[in-house]
Amino acid sequence: MAQSGYHQCMMNRFLIVLAVLTLLAPPLARAEDRPLTVIEMFTSQGCSSCPPADALLGLYAKRDDILALSMHVDYWDYIGWKDPFALPINTERQRLYARKMGSSFVYTPQAVVQGMAHATGSSQRKIDKLIADLKGAKRLGVTAVRTGDAVRIDIDGGVFPDEDAIVYLAGVDAKHDTDVRRGENAGHILSYYNVVRDLADVGKWHGEALRIDVPKGTVSFDNRDAAAVLVQSATTGRILGAAWVATSSGS
């Protein structure tokens, strides 16, 4: 009986120590707390080398640490097939990246990671290296929620006190399949993921905490699956922070 009592006493002490350690341990990181790394895939349905990159973006889109966006450009439309998802603003965005990164040309498929570096969009090895290299870069806290007929964006302050940034909101479709009937990809059914259908400048951020309520109609997020928020340095093009929010038609 004495031995049994001793074992019970030791067990009680063990449970007390375990409880204390549990209280002191840091909470497990939730998926929504992880900083997002943004991959913008500049692509076109008129580009014969783009389908492998589009498929690769679909893999990145499944990751909870990546905000993957398919940015369709319009400069290949003339060669036989008009890309239904091409936006002039995407083309201009890619050209702006080229200028900021010191390049004299644009190309597809091109993956731009965090607005800071680029690689051929079909090269998973190179893109993974960029993601790894930028993993430790500072991120600005950004959250976004749907509030009735608006998207509410909250941006932290203090992390980049000397930066001025542009806040972008994109309306995004989760997936599209297209039967391409002309051009370089004629006869193929191509799949696209997180397709940007609308992109707008919705505010300016100057280093301090900021809340922006973006009303319905500013960007066509009401008919989209999701919306993406990008807070981007006005000087360097670096994406300081990002957020993802499902809209009414998404899940």
> Residue 108 has what pLDDT?
98
- Cβ of 54: how many Cβ atoms within 10 Å? 23
| pLDDT for 19 | 40
How many alpha carbons lie under 13 Å from residue 247 in its C-beta half-sphere?
A: 25
Q: pLDDT value at position 246? A: 86
Per-residue pLDDT at 134: 92
Report the amino acid identity of residue 84: P
Predicted pLDDT at 27: 36
Give pLDDT < 50 ranges for the chain. 1-4, 6-7, 9-11, 14-32, 249-251
Q: What is the DSSP letter of 223?
A: G
DSSP secondary structure letters along 37-86: EEEEEEE-TT-TT-HHHHHHHHHHTT-TTEEEEEEE-STTGGGS---TT-
Superfamily of domain 32-246: Glutaredoxin (3.40.30.10)
Q: Quick check: 155 and 241 in contact, CB under 8 A?
A: yes
Residue 109's pLDDT is: 98
Give dist(CA 48, CA 184) in Å, integer.
5
Q: Helix or strand or coil: residue 120? A: strand
User: What per-residue confidence (pLDDT) applies to 13?
Assistant: 54
Model pLDDT, residue 148: 81
- Over residues 26-39, the pLDDT tens digits come to 333 333 456 899 99
